[in-house]
Amino acid sequence: MCDLPRSVMLFAAGFGTRMKPLTDDLPKPMIEVAGKPLVDHALSLASAVAPQIIVANLHYKPEPLERHLTARGVQTVLETPDILDTGGGLRNALPALGPAPVFTLNTDAIWKGPNPLDMLRNAWEPARMDALLMCIPVANTHAYKGQGDFQINAQGQITRGPGLVYGGAQIIKTGRLAEIDKACFSLNELWNLMLTDTRLFGLCYPGQWCDVGHPGGISIAEALIDHSDV
């Protein structure tokens, strides 16, 4: 098995509950930010690392998103009848993604700075890592209210705690997904297994990051995109 990621998983199946009423008629990844659908910002990051395949999971109001992504060469995997969350969604997409480690990328954030996927690839050490998460200092986040998810020690290992926000970009090995005996589950359950074995690592992002999971994040993200000094 190749130890380098060759595929990208875009998480695009969510209900967009925080984005209502904008998601009453559209899936959240199709909401426009700076003149193009939110998913296209993620797709630009994914395409720039030249993966062999990009896969997106769909569930809520999938038809317009499926048409949009198929036209851009993205393979879609429909979760039906039930949504599977991030962990279940990743496992469900494995036949398309293949057995190697994969990039995963959330589609509801804007990154201002270097491509986080490229940074992750350059820092990936599969001999000691089962996952490498891109994290942002709380002070460098926008439209985010919280204290953060993780802390990173001098060796790059992650522990849970305030300070750094998981930005929704990572490289992850998928073999241990088979150990989780449920259909719908969060990637947090897989990360917990890796935490126990001290094989969960993090990287600190040097740029800015905006949460576009709610309507107020749209204008803030557009300002972040427009201003080179932000």
What tens digit of pLDDT does each residue of 214-224 get?
999 999 999 99
Q: State the average pLDDT over residues 191-196.
A: 97
| Side-chain half-sphere CA neighbours of 65 within 13 A | 32
Of the chain, the percentage scoring pLDDT greater than 70 comes to 98
Average pLDDT, the chain: 95
Distances (CA, A) of 111 to 16, 43, 102, 226: 19, 12, 19, 12
Domains of the chain, first to last = 7-226 (3.90.550.10)
pLDDT at 79: 96
Task: Report the sign of the C-alpha dihedral through residues 139, 143, 145, 151, in that order.
Answer: negative
What tens digit of pLDDT does each residue of 199-219 get?
999 999 999 999 998 999 999
**pTM of the full structure:** 0.95
What tens digit of pLDDT does each residue of 22-41 get?
899 999 999 999 999 999 99
pLDDT at 75 over 70: yes
